[in-house]
Structure 1
Amino acid sequence: ESNFQAMSKSAVKISLDLLSNPLCEQDQDLLNMVTALDTAMKRMDTFNQEKVSQIPKTAIEPLKKFGSVFPSLNMAVKRREQALQDLRRLQAKVEKHKEKEKTGPVLAKLHQAPEELRPVQEDFEAKNRHRLDNFQPSFESLIRAQVLYYLEMHKIFGDLTQQLDRPDHSDEQREQENEAKFSEVRALSIVVDE
């Protein structure tokens, strides 16, 4: 959440810096492009402030509250981890028996393995379901927020692309124009060569 907001604040600052650049005063096309960029970056920043800032309320804070209000939740997580370790230990044991020579005792252990595994597997699955029931609403909220974010960014940058696109220009002409602009920017004293 903070990364999205930091990114949009930086993008707004960059577009404002570009707008105040003397090159924009000399070139109306460049001014139009940078103005369109500035509008898009402000839209992105507004969206982040209004929507992305809701993530702590819908995802992060509820998860913290679970831990403080329901201490038993931490125990449930530990029990799930223990069940997972038990399951993995038994599975590793079965794999070792499979690699051994198929003598009578080994075959007997392999035959018995599913009976040993079944209750451990069922115990783990029950504990895993319990964990998902607790966390699923917060995870869903987080995923929905990310989907909403990327849909909105797609719309903002799609609109920007349409504004900047010049149908009378070929891709090669656009590339040459962009390279010419980048050359001018590289020549500025504020640009550091790497």
Structure 2
Amino acid sequence: MHVNYRNPLRRNYLSTKPSPAPLVLAKIDERNLEIVFQRLQNIEETTRRLQKDMKKYLENVASVIKSEQKITTDLSGSALCHQNAELRKLVEDYHSVTSQLYNSARDLSSVNQRTFLEPLKKYGGIFNSVDSAFQRREQLLQEWRNLAAKVHKLEERERTASNVVKLEREKKSLEVSAKELVTCHAFLLSELTQFLEKRISYFHPTLQALLRSQLEYYGNTTRLFTHLVLGTNAKEGSPSSLSVSDSEFEASINSKLIRIRALSIVKT
């Protein structure tokens, strides 16, 4: 079973940290946007890591199933299984279980691709647009700084009629630029705060789908092996494994190992 997903190890999109604008914005407004930015960075990083972790998890599940199938295949090809009908039947049933688990693991991978990885990928892609919005704010801030520098130079020049006209024109431009920056900042703070608040409603169904897929996969695994063990016990005339405690089961195994070690062929 081959699992192929987009590599989530790329750098994060959100990297344009909001610069301060003390002469235009209130300190509290600057601080609030900085906090939002930090929280968004953490969320993007978490989203990226969740994709990476899920990819690893599905690869590990596939690897376990592949290894277990290899075990049953090797057992099936052993001479001992060909010599003993009961053992051969047990190994065949075990191999059948691993084949069914392969299909279950494939379904698990498919479901989590649609309900976990793809939603997280879409959510992670939003941060590209968020960073563009922060870049626009930086652009407006730089424009304001350039205009402020022009105004400062004109104020230092001789107050000729020409310079006074230029100064008034640049002051009006500076005022417009400041308003645009304040508006952009307020819009960012409002929109991104709402974005943060709504993240739970986005991730909740994704997490629910993950838990249900786990229940389906591990429930099916338990059902298959329980059926296999109960079927084996019924043939042997032994009590159900469900009625045997862990300590009793371990004692039974240890007893068999002691008898095996007592054989002359394994004595040291």
- Matching of residue 18 in structure 1 with residue 75 in structure 2: yes
Give the alignment's TM-score, normalised by structure 2.
Answer: 0.42
Q: Which amino acid counterpart does residue 237 of structure 2 have in structure 1?
A: D
Query: Could you say if the C-alpha distance between residues 10 and 32 of structure 1 is closer, same or farther in structure 2, counting changes exceeding 3 Å?
Result: same
User: Residue 168 of structure 1 corresponds to which residue in structure 2?
Assistant: 237
Q: Which amino acid counterpart does residue 37 of structure 1 have in structure 2?
A: Y
**Structure that is richer in helix per residue:** 1
Which structure is larger by alpha-carbon Rg, 1 or 2?
2
User: Residue 150 of structure 1 corresponds to which residue in structure 2?
Assistant: 218
Cα distance per residue 1:114-149 (max 9 Å; x no partner): xxxxxxxxxxxx886422112122212111111111
Question: CA contact under 8 A between 1:4 and 1:48: conserved in structure 2?
Answer: yes
How many angstroms apart in 1 are the aligned matches of 2:219 and 2:130? 34
Q: Which amino acid counterpart does residue 29 of structure 1 have in structure 2?
A: E
Question: CA contact under 8 A between 1:36 and 1:164: conserved in structure 2?
Answer: no
Cα distance per residue 1:84-138 (max 9 Å; x no partner): xxxxxxxxxxxxxxxxxxxxxxxxxxxxxxxxxxxxxxxxxx8864221121222
Q: Which amino acid counterpart does residue 159 of structure 1 have in structure 2?
A: H
Q: Which amino acid counterpart does residue 73 of structure 2 have in structure 1?
A: L
User: Residue 61 of structure 2 corresponds to which residue in structure 1?
Assistant: 4
Structure 1 unaligned runs (5+)? 75-125, 185-194
Cα distance per residue 1:161-192 (max 9 Å; x no partner): 122114523678x947x947x959xxxxxxxx
Aligned counterpart in structure 2 of residue 61 of structure 1, from 100, 114, 118: 118
Equivalent runs, 1:107-122 vs 2, <5 Å: none
How many angstroms apart in 2 are the aligned matches of 1:183 and 1:64? 55
State the 1:26 CA deviation.
1.4
Aligned counterpart in structure 1 of residue 84 of structure 2, from 27, 49, 53: 27
User: Residue 120 of structure 1 corresponds to which residue in structure 2?
Assistant: none
- Matching of residue 37 in structure 1 with residue 106 in structure 2: no
State the 1:18 CA deviation.
0.3
User: Residue 104 of structure 2 corresponds to which residue in structure 1?
Assistant: 47
Q: Which amino acid counterpart does residue 163 of structure 1 have in structure 2?
A: G
- Partner of 2:82, secondary structure, is helix
State the 1:151 CA deviation.
1.2
Give the alignment's TM-score, normalised by structure 1.
Answer: 0.57
RMSD over aligned Cα atoms: 3.4
State the 1:73 CA deviation.
6.8
Query: Could you say if the C-alpha distance between residues 25 and 140 of structure 1 is closer, same or farther in structure 2, counting changes exceeding 3 Å?
Result: same
4+ runs deviating over 3 angstroms: 69-74, 126-129, 169-172
Q: Which amino acid counterpart does residue 114 of structure 2 have in structure 1?
A: K
- Partner of 1:150, secondary structure, is helix
Query: Could you say if the C-alpha distance between residues 53 and 154 of structure 1 is closer, same or farther in structure 2, counting changes exceeding 3 Å?
Result: same
User: Residue 199 of structure 2 corresponds to which residue in structure 1?
Assistant: 131
- Partner of 1:169, secondary structure, is coil
